[in-house]
Amino acid sequence: MSEGKANPQLWQKGLPLDEAIHRFTVGDDPVLDQRLLKYDALGSAAHALALAHAGLLAESDAGALAQALSGIAARAGRGELRINPEQEDCHTCIEALLTQQLGDAGRRIHLGRSRNDQVILALRLYMRDALLDTAARTAQLADAFISFAKQHADLPLPGYTHLRRAMPSSFGLWAGGFAAGLAEELQALQSVYARLDRCPLGAAAGFGAPLPLDREYVAALLGFAAVQTSPADVMNSRGRHELALVNALASIGLVLEKFLWDAALYCMPELGYLKLPDAFTTGSSIMPQKRNPDVLELARGRCRELRGHALMLQELAGGLPSGYHRDLQLLKQPLFMSLDTAYGLLDILLRLMPDLQVDEKRARAACGDDLYAAQEATRLAQEGMPFRDAYQQVARQLLDGSFKPDRSASLCTHLGGVGNLGLERIAADCAALKHWIGETRKRLQACESQVWNSKMSGT
Amino acid sequence: MSEGKANPQLWQKGLPLDEAIHRFTVGDDPVLDQRLLKYDALGSAAHALALAHAGLLAESDAGALAQALSGIAARAGRGELRINPEQEDCHTCIEALLTQQLGDAGRRIHLGRSRNDQVILALRLYMRDALLDTAARTAQLADAFISFAKQHADLPLPGYTHLRRAMPSSFGLWAGGFAAGLAEELQALQSVYARLDRCPLGAAAGFGAPLPLDREYVAALLGFAAVQTSPADVMNSRGRHELALVNALASIGLVLEKFLWDAALYCMPELGYLKLPDAFTTGSSIMPQKRNPDVLELARGRCRELRGHALMLQELAGGLPSGYHRDLQLLKQPLFMSLDTAYGLLDILLRLMPDLQVDEKRARAACGDDLYAAQEATRLAQEGMPFRDAYQQVARQLLDGSFKPDRSASLCTHLGGVGNLGLERIAADCAALKHWIGETRKRLQACESQVWNSKMSGT
Amino acid sequence: MSEGKANPQLWQKGLPLDEAIHRFTVGDDPVLDQRLLKYDALGSAAHALALAHAGLLAESDAGALAQALSGIAARAGRGELRINPEQEDCHTCIEALLTQQLGDAGRRIHLGRSRNDQVILALRLYMRDALLDTAARTAQLADAFISFAKQHADLPLPGYTHLRRAMPSSFGLWAGGFAAGLAEELQALQSVYARLDRCPLGAAAGFGAPLPLDREYVAALLGFAAVQTSPADVMNSRGRHELALVNALASIGLVLEKFLWDAALYCMPELGYLKLPDAFTTGSSIMPQKRNPDVLELARGRCRELRGHALMLQELAGGLPSGYHRDLQLLKQPLFMSLDTAYGLLDILLRLMPDLQVDEKRARAACGDDLYAAQEATRLAQEGMPFRDAYQQVARQLLDGSFKPDRSASLCTHLGGVGNLGLERIAADCAALKHWIGETRKRLQACESQVWNSKMSGT
Amino acid sequence: MSEGKANPQLWQKGLPLDEAIHRFTVGDDPVLDQRLLKYDALGSAAHALALAHAGLLAESDAGALAQALSGIAARAGRGELRINPEQEDCHTCIEALLTQQLGDAGRRIHLGRSRNDQVILALRLYMRDALLDTAARTAQLADAFISFAKQHADLPLPGYTHLRRAMPSSFGLWAGGFAAGLAEELQALQSVYARLDRCPLGAAAGFGAPLPLDREYVAALLGFAAVQTSPADVMNSRGRHELALVNALASIGLVLEKFLWDAALYCMPELGYLKLPDAFTTGSSIMPQKRNPDVLELARGRCRELRGHALMLQELAGGLPSGYHRDLQLLKQPLFMSLDTAYGLLDILLRLMPDLQVDEKRARAACGDDLYAAQEATRLAQEGMPFRDAYQQVARQLLDGSFKPDRSASLCTHLGGVGNLGLERIAADCAALKHWIGETRKRLQACESQVWNSKMSGT
């Protein structure tokens, strides 16, 4: 990892063998696993309750464990818990704390699960939350595009194809397109959630646990829609799930990259349809006349980076026989990096959109008569002239300077057209998704509370 | 493209400029577009009906166009229609035929659409069908895995992690895992279908058509669930949709790659749990003693190739401002290649699975007492001994050769365990998907028939 | 592969098992291998001579084989030889011809080599030629950029950073940069040639041949600088070599993509520094006012496609243990496709560059006083004013409209600057590479002639 | 980036706009740039000397700057210098220190360069060193493979193709292949060095600096072979250079991945040709009988990760017009991560190789008579029987159990064969590269010393 050490290449030289191997196998886990602490605690508490439910652990022990894990999760949430490099990962860190606090009861929690299904559970709980966080931001950003589109619904903008002015468009049509794209991506996120919505616990090392565990009980405790039935599939889905989520992020990036490219072009002085607020531009250290759209460019680069993370995960997720192999540990870093990239990208655009300014004068000026050539030919065709003839007539008029289109005729009134943007439909799609996000979060929070507080039932 | 020309590098040398540019811009479209002929015909017929519906075309003309296009689609379906290289693509080929057959009526079909939304519609109709074809094969293959799992449900197989024998498993558990993985991927395909299930027609060049078209009418004609409202989003979704589909194919590949890797290992003479039918092996040209699992290896390579196609599409789908750019033409080839790869892969595995043989003797022999170490330790823990102590006791017994596990105790009876595979749940998931595939196909066929035969309503 | 079959998904349904497996394993080889025929013939002729040299084949047989193979290569070169689908690949096709023509002597050529080192040799000979072809075109294109740069050496052009006008530049500086980039890539191609410049023959299946072959003799015959010593490495380098070549093509694409993006922007009406010849633009089917830069866009897309091929090869080249596995057969297609993409891209740009026109008036008009702000501040700093103060003074003048830079002072006279482009240095680099290409080709042709005509020595 | 924050998603919520934008634009630079401090200091010192050389800075000021920068580099080397998040990057950090120490002289260093060519220079100096570090480790590891190969030169090992025992090989042949592969990669690294061996300084923002700088003087000071002539190419090579280096690392990974896959298979109990030292295995938390080869697996995963970094850089390096854009800032992270991955991978294998043990008994036992089938057929063919007949005879004997090959005949004596490994040739290639590495490092150190101590000449 890129810790920027002055001499990263030297650290291993003088180390004793065991220490060198320890560092190689641990890798960045102590840092990466910080964000899993809470989820491993939650999954462990549910496992403790499931053991008690199956008569494999005293109810009082289960209650004590849930309470202790609740405290651990709370400390992790406040950033007060650090995984010690010697502890390797979040699992050992939590085990150490439990054993320290509860003695034997702490040690009893490991019955019937393996490290592998423990990490899969923690990751699944984490991804479930991270997906909802991403979806919430994406929905907000879709709303911001809709607001922008409504605000400038009727303001004309030249529609470009091939980087050439093509046909009359509007700021409303342009911005509404990004809202629509994000709405589609929100639905895609929802379907990735369905992949994640099955509980892996009980798979143990991939062949089940030789204990009478009630997998449906624990799945319900953790708010999953179902059990991920096959323990073999639990192991084999490692990588596939991460990739599905990161592919969804990269697809959001595909939507936003087009917006960012457009914005970078539209705020070129040569076009000038958009103006960036000063806070979003950067001066040059040597050119006094310049303000650069660094934020747009970095955000655009982040969209490519999201694709890069997806490519990385494709490499890491494939190429292995079934079952657990230690290579899979490497999946965590690109997953986390990808989510952080997405958060940063969405957050900065949420800040930008309300402040993005249009230059109405330049936009109107750019909508010259030429832009209406296709519409005029269509109008003539609609009046009866064969389209080929109409096209030729307009072309001749354009050449000899006599072209005068009937611009009043140009409003596209069909659904989605300049005169009938259908923003309320796009908004309705987003609203449905926001509702789903809200309900899901509420439900998961209720489950979580119940797990943390189930000491009650244990006493 | 890889046409294997003897001197592909020489073809352009002597060409006149216009011819060289023609070849460069046309590329492989005349070949690639063969598979779009039928879909462009269908989309065009629907557009003709929509024009008539809006009073922009005589009903008799619309009927004649639908009939002629029906004939074109039929010829294309029988492989009797070839796109001439001079025609560049399927659109020009069809236009030429219509004009030849119907004169002016043939020319009137172009009103109110652009080449760009025409190709997007044809691609969407194609992808919709191709997705259903892929899903149907995937569902069949999932069934084949379930059959295999049922046939050998109780036959023991060492469960491997880290390529080391780990715990007792069974052929049933192993094969059931792949069925479960495919069932999940089927659901993912279904959600990609939802992306494709909106009608782009009417977007024209990305800014709508200046005509009173009824986009909901044409969407219903073509069996879409809805209109893709924003014309800007229609253009911007080019690439995103192709990628979503190919990502889904690559994810199916991730499931199958693990099976193929396992199978390649399990039929190594050193392990020998599986036997490949002779038809699936290839002899060596110089080593008389060898039979090679070439089919497994090529199929495994095809899984990596699917990822490669996804990577290619990531490159091609990104990096552009919004609106149409000619770069997007290049999306077709990797989409088609990816689908063909997936078809070939799924088809060959559908052939393999019923013939794949197990070597019961070697599988049983490989399940030695060692394999039961974790279960024995768990059993002791369940009886009250702390797990750490049980683990140590088993480890000592393994070392001194006294380890004798109670193998009868080992059956995992929880859901998904060796003794309770839950195959019926996985089968139920697949059955639901198969039902959806069947219903959807039926519905689309009904829509198609209605479009082809709508000359009736026109007369 | 994308043969555009109407129903590619149906072909395998009714096939008997053996036929289905045959098609799956053969794949596209009969088509793909067309371009390997010549190289397999050459490698086989050299192998025959090596067998004779080692006393393992009669000299007269070796001579007859070389002569027959020379004829086969000639037929292949004229496009008169087609690999029959039943023959699977170029190797079987050639073997069949040899046996047909020479009987037993035809069969004797297989002694001491395996199919695997045969295909590796054919591919290496092919890649060696293809690399030189690519390099020759790249060198020509570098020259074309230098010519363009010389022609417009002093014509001012605004230098852009962040898509904003930044500092004074010139068409000479702009175009010279691409020539310099290509020169660097030519050197990179030369280093890939060094990888390929070792003879794999004799590796047999990866463990050597149990015969006293003189590997240095055959390496010299085929014009290789050395033997690739380790037979294990010969097998392991499959994929690595293809990737090295395709990475080099993708890197050429990185240079050209920037040119193509710049050109697409500079010929936007809003900027207008470049004018595309009419032959390189395409009209719109519905917008009479438009000419689109389709050629630039497709060429730009081809640069992304080259990266896609590199990504595909990364997927296919990795993930396997050492030794031959049938997965490796899949490496051929992306290698060939990548080369064809590169040829098409380089060829079209070779056609474009001489005709690319500049609009001097608009370019000069775009070089306003603002562009000289940094230079003026530097000039003031050079006269003694601290740079920060100079920057502030210029900034103030820009704001109040009083900024009047001394534009005569602006010529950068250091090496590479606007006033001292150093094009002759870049041209010298290219010339050295062109010399190397020419000499290498001459040497290889001499070797080839000697192999074909070695029947003399055999009689 | 993956800092493992408990709630990375929350950090931006409450921030004032300027602070949020600051964080977004700065990104991870303060951490990433730590490793550039030394190189930016060195490049800055050379620039100061170049300014003095051109009469644009007092010699005493240049000397003082070089001395101060030498101190800064030394502190950075000892890890005593931390870039403050407010400082954004290494450049501002160093500027602040210089201004603090030297006042006006500190401010004068910025004349004639831009931030862009400053970072390009620092990166180039860094990559040059990092490449040499990687090459040195790679050469050491090639030596370790050669030592292993020599130690077990004659110990038989079954040669595998298609994961099937194919022909007689040896540990020497097997390990020698990896040494040969690494030797080839070392040559590839050397050619990447040639790309980096040109001095970018003087390009300023990509259009040169309006000052009479002597670019050849500063290139020589910094030990570059030449000036990178075109300032436009300097900017355009950003990304291309990073990718070239990371592609080379990924190609090293392709060599090592095969070794790691082989080793993972060969130490499976079912094969057992290799034994891992205990320190390189990890126990299971629940399976007392297991020792897992985690180190091999993680190292294998790191090879895939290197390809992932290359894919990421392909995404980030492309897709932009020429000139600087802020997106390019994102290139640093994957470059650094890739190098760290490579260091870790090479270092752990350097530790493993001397301790890797062979199981002679199992290896010999695995070399049964079958393995000699091809050799026996070849021997018969060499004695005059047509190879097809010999093949059939051997096949019959294998079937009826009468096959008794002449195993003594089997030694391949040609170059590279089991009996003539040619390890000295591979070793000679490595030695030449090691010599080059050593000489280059010496030369660069001499240049660096001269820059740091040039205050002498300045006083």
The bridge status of strand D198-199 relative to strand C357-358 is unpaired
Structure tokens at D80: 């005593």
Check CB contact under 8 Å for D1 and A6: no
Segment C46-55 mean pLDDT? 96
Q: Say if residues D322 and C261 touch (Cβ distance below 8 Å).
A: yes
For the cut 70, the answer to whether the pLDDT of residue D140 exceeds it is: yes
Residue C298 and residue B344: Cβ atoms within 8 Å?
Answer: no
> A with C: how many residue pairs have Cβ under 8 Å apart?
101
pLDDT number for residue D283: 84
The pLDDT tens digits of the residues spanning C412-448 come to: 889 999 999 999 999 999 999 999 999 999 999 999 9
D288/B167 CB distance under 8 A: no
Q: Is the pLDDT of residue B188 over 60?
A: yes
Contact A98, A110 (CB under 8 A): no
Q: pLDDT tens digits for C149-184?
A: 999 999 999 999 999 999 999 999 999 999 999 999
| A389 confidence band (pLDDT: 50, 70, 90) | confident
Among C16-25, C48-57, C142-151, the least confident range: C16-25
User: What residues of D are in contact with residue A330 (Cβ under 8 Å)?
Assistant: 298, 301-302, 304-305
Weakest mean pLDDT among A219-233, C86-100, C302-316, D314-328: C86-100
Q: What global pTM score does this model have?
A: 0.96
C455: pLDDT strictly greater than 90: no
pLDDT for residue C1 is more than 70: no
Q: Which residue has the higher pLDDT, D406 or A157?
A: A157
CB D312, CB A341: distance < 8 Å: no
**Is the per-residue pLDDT at A284 higher than 50?**
yes
Residues from chain C that touch A269, judged by Cβ atoms under 8 A, are 164-165
Q: Do D289 and B370 touch (CB under 8 A)?
A: yes
Average pLDDT over all residues of chain C: 92
* Per-residue pLDDT at C5 exceeds 80: no
One-letter amino acid of A87: Q
Distance CA B394, CA B400 (A): 10
What was the pLDDT predicted at D13? 52
Least confident range from B224-228, B385-389, C402-406: namely B385-389
CA torsion through residues C106, C112, C114, C120, sign: negative
C48 near C65, Cβ under 8 Å?
A: yes
Reply yes or no on whether the pLDDT at B9 is more than 70: no
**C-beta atoms of C314 and A315 within 8 A:** yes
Number of CB atoms found within 10 A of residue D371's CB: 23
Cβ atoms of D61 and D105 within 8 Å: the answer is yes
Cβ of A243 and B251 within 8 Å?
Answer: yes
**Tell me, what's the pLDDT at D4?**
40
Cα C221 to Cα C233: distance, rounded to the nearest angstrom: 21
Residues of D in contact with A298 (CB under 8 A): 24-25, 27, 326-327, 329-330
Read off the pLDDT band of D357 (50, 70, 90): very high
How many other β-carbons are positioned within 10 Å of the β-carbon of residue B343?
20
Which residue in the set C18, C35, C130 is minimally distant from B279, CB to CB?
C18
Residue C12 has pLDDT above 60, yes or no: no
| Residue in A8, A308, A339 closest to D340 by CB | A8
**Banded pLDDT at C15 (limits 50, 70, 90):** confident
What is the average per-residue pLDDT within B407-411?
75
**Stretch D279-307: mean pLDDT:** 91
For the ranges A311-320, B1-10, B275-284, D341-350, the lowest mean pLDDT is seen at: B1-10
Quick one: pLDDT at residue B4?
A: 40
pLDDT score for A13: 52
Question: How many whole angstroms separate alpha carbon A372 and alpha carbon A158?
Answer: 10
Label residue D11 by pLDDT band (50, 70, 90).
very low
Quick one: pLDDT at residue A455?
Answer: 56
Reported as a pLDDT band with limits 50, 70 and 90, residue B86 is confident
Q: Given an 8 Å threshold on Cβ–Cβ distance, is C208 in contact with D173?
A: yes
Host H or E run for residue A275:
strand A274-275
Q: Is the pLDDT of residue A9 over 70?
A: no
Q: Over pLDDT 70: what percentage of chain D?
A: 95
Partners of C166 on chain A (C-beta within 8 Å) are 284, 287, 290
- What average pLDDT does the structure give for chain D? 92
Do D165 and B391 make contact, defined as CB atoms within 8 angstroms?
A: no
Q: Which residue has the higher pLDDT, B381 or D226?
A: D226
Confidence of residue B284 (pLDDT cuts 50, 70, 90): confident
C386 pLDDT more than 90: no
Residue C187's contacts (CB-CB under 8 Å, 6 or more residues apart) are: C429, C433, D191, D194, D195
Task: Tell me the chain B residues in contact with residue A110 when contact means C-beta distances shorter than 8 Å.
Answer: 387
Please list every residue in chain A whose beta carbon sits closer than 8 Å to the beta carbon of residue B323.
Answer: 159-162, 166
Contact B292 D398 (CB under 8 A): no
- DSSP structure class, residue A56: S
Pairwise CB contact (< 8 Å): B298 & C344: no
Of C168, C214, C425, nearest to D229 by CB-CB distance is: C425
Average pLDDT over residues B70-94: 93
Give pLDDT tens digits for A228-247.
Answer: 999 999 999 999 999 999 99
pLDDT greater than 60 at residue A373:
yes
Q: Specify the pLDDT at position B381.
A: 86
Closest residue to C288, CB basis, from A284, A293, A398 = A398
List the subunits that have 3+ CB pairs under 8 angstroms with B: A, C, D
Residues in Cβ contact with A451 at an 8 Å cutoff, skipping those fewer than 6 apart: A42, A45, A46, A49, A66, A221, A222
Q: With CB atoms and an 8 Å threshold, state whether D305 touches A295.
A: no
- Kindly report the CA angle at A314 between A308 and A320, in degrees rounded to 5? 150
Q: What is the pLDDT of residues A108-121, one digit of tens each?
A: 888 888 888 899 99
Cα three-residue angle D399-D400-D402, rounded to 5 degrees: 110
Residue D145 in this model has a pLDDT that exceeds 50:
yes
The most confident of the ranges A23-27, A127-131, B16-20, D291-295 is A127-131
Query: Using a CB-CB distance cutoff of 8 angstroms, which residues of chain C are in contact with residue B280?
Result: 21
Read off the DSSP letter of residue B227.
E
> Average of pLDDT values for D38-62?
96
Q: How confident is the model at residue B385 (pLDDT cuts 50, 70, 90)?
A: confident
Contact B230 A421 (CB under 8 A): yes
Which position has the higher pLDDT, C385 or D221? Answer: D221
Q: How many CB pairs under 8 A join A and D?
A: 235
Q: How far is residue B195's CA from residue B201's CA, in Å, rounded to a whole number?
A: 15
pLDDT of residue D30: 92
Residues in B lying within 8 Å of D, measured between beta carbons: 161-167, 264-265, 268-271, 284, 286-294, 297, 311, 314-315, 318-319, 370-371, 373-374, 377-378, 391-392, 394-395, 398
Could B421 and A230 be called an inter-chain contact, meaning their C-beta atoms sit closer than 8 Å?
Answer: yes
pLDDT at residue B419 greater than cutoff 50: yes
Q: Lowest mean pLDDT of A74-83, A141-150, D106-115, name the range.
A: D106-115
**pLDDT value of position C410:** 65
Average pLDDT, chain A: 92
pLDDT of residue A283: 84
Q: Give residue C454's pLDDT.
A: 82
B308 and C28 in contact by Cβ < 8 A?
Answer: no
Residues with Cβ within 8 Å of C38's Cβ and at least 6 positions away in sequence, in order, are B6, C73, C76, C77
Residue with more model confidence, A8 or B70: B70
What gap in Å lies between CA D90 and CA D238, rounded to an integer?
Answer: 18
Indicate the residue type of A298. Answer: L
Nearest to D12 among A130, A133, A347 (CB): A347
Name the token pair of C250. Answer: 């993708």
pLDDT of residue A304 exceeding 50, the answer is: yes
Look at residue C10 and tell me whether its pLDDT is greater than 90. no
CA distance D1 to chain A (A): 5
* Chain B contact probe: residue of D164, D312, D359 with most B CBs at under 10 A: D164
Q: Collect all residues of chain A within an 8 Å Cβ-Cβ radius of residue D6.
A: 34-35, 37-38, 76-79
pLDDT for residue C8 is more than 60: no
Contact partners for chain C, using 3 or more CB pairs closer than 8 A, are: A, B, D
Tell me the nearest-neighbour CA distance from A23 into chain D, angstroms: 9
Q: Which candidate from B181, B207, B262 shows the least CB-CB separation from A233?
A: B181
Say if the Cβ atoms of C411 and D381 lie within 8 Å: no
pLDDT of res. C110: 83
Mean pLDDT of D238-242: 98
Q: Which of chain C's residues have a Cβ under 8 Å away from the Cβ of D413? A: 212
Beta bridge partners of D292: D282
DSSP C348-416: HHHHHGGG-EE-HHHHHHH--GGGGHHHHHHHHHHTTS-HHHHHHHHHHHHHHT-----GGGG---STT
* Complex-level ipTM: 0.95
Classify burial at B395, counting beta carbons within 10 Å of its beta carbon; exposed 0-12, middle 13-18, buried 19 or more.
Answer: middle
- The encoded tokens of residue D146 equal 């050669």
pLDDT band for B177, please (50, 70, 90 cuts): very high
Q: Which residue of B has its CA nearest to D378?
A: B286
pLDDT, residue C230, reads 98
3-state SS, residue C246: helix
**Interatomic CA distance for residues D400 and A403, integer angstroms:** 93
User: Is the predicted pLDDT of residue A7 greater than 90, yes or no?
Assistant: no
- For C261, name the nearest residue in chain D, comparing CA atoms only: D321
Q: How many CB atoms lie within 10 A of CB C103?
A: 10
How far apart are the CA of B394 and the nearest CA of chain D, in angstroms?
Answer: 7
Range in A329-333, B281-285, C141-145, D407-411 with the lowest mean pLDDT: D407-411
Count CB pairs under 8 A between chains B and D.
Answer: 101
SS3 track for chain D: CCCCCCCHHHCCCCCCHHHHHHHHHHCCHHHHHHHHHHHHHHHHHHHHHHHHHCCCCCHHHHHHHHHHHHHHHHHHHCCCCCCCHHHCCHHHHHHHHHHHHHCHHHHHCCCCCCHHHHHHHHHHHHHHHHHHHHHHHHHHHHHHHHHHHHHCCCCEEEEEECCEEEEEEEHHHHHHHHHHHHHHHHHHHHHHHHHHCEECCCCCCCCCCCCCCCHHHHHHHCCCCEECCCHHHHHHCCCHHHHHHHHHHHHHHHHHHHHHHHHHHHCCCCCCCEECCHHHCEECCCCCCCEECHHHHHHHHHHHHHHHHHHHHHHHHCCCCCCCCHHHHHHHHHHHHHHHHHHHHHHHHHHHHHHCEECHHHHHHHCCHHHHHHHHHHHHHHCCCCHHHHHHHHHHHHHHCCCCCCHHHHCCCCCCCCCCCCHHHHHHHHHHHHHHHHHHHHHHHHHHHHHHCCHHHHC
**Nearest CB to C166; choose among A268, A287, A374:** A287
Contact indicator for A143, A391 with CB cutoff of 8 Å: no
Contacts of C178 in chain D (CB under 8 A): 232-233, 236
Q: Say whether D188 and C195 touch across the interface (CB within 8 A).
A: yes
Whether the per-residue pLDDT at A3 is higher than 80: the answer is: no
Which phi-psi region, left, alpha or beta, contains residue D30 (left: φ > 0; alpha: ψ -120 to 50)?
Answer: alpha
Closest chain D C-alpha to B175 CA, distance in angstroms: 22
Q: Which of B95, B126, B129, B298 to mutate to test the interface with C (most CBs of C within 10 A)?
A: B298
Those chains having 3 or more beta-carbon pairs within 8 angstroms of chain D are A, B, C
Alpha-carbon distances, residue C266 vs A85, A128, C269, C273, C388 (angstroms): 55, 46, 8, 5, 33
pLDDT at C13: 52
Q: Is the pLDDT reported for residue C4 higher than 50?
A: no
Smallest CA–CA distance, residue C154 to chain B, in Å, is 29
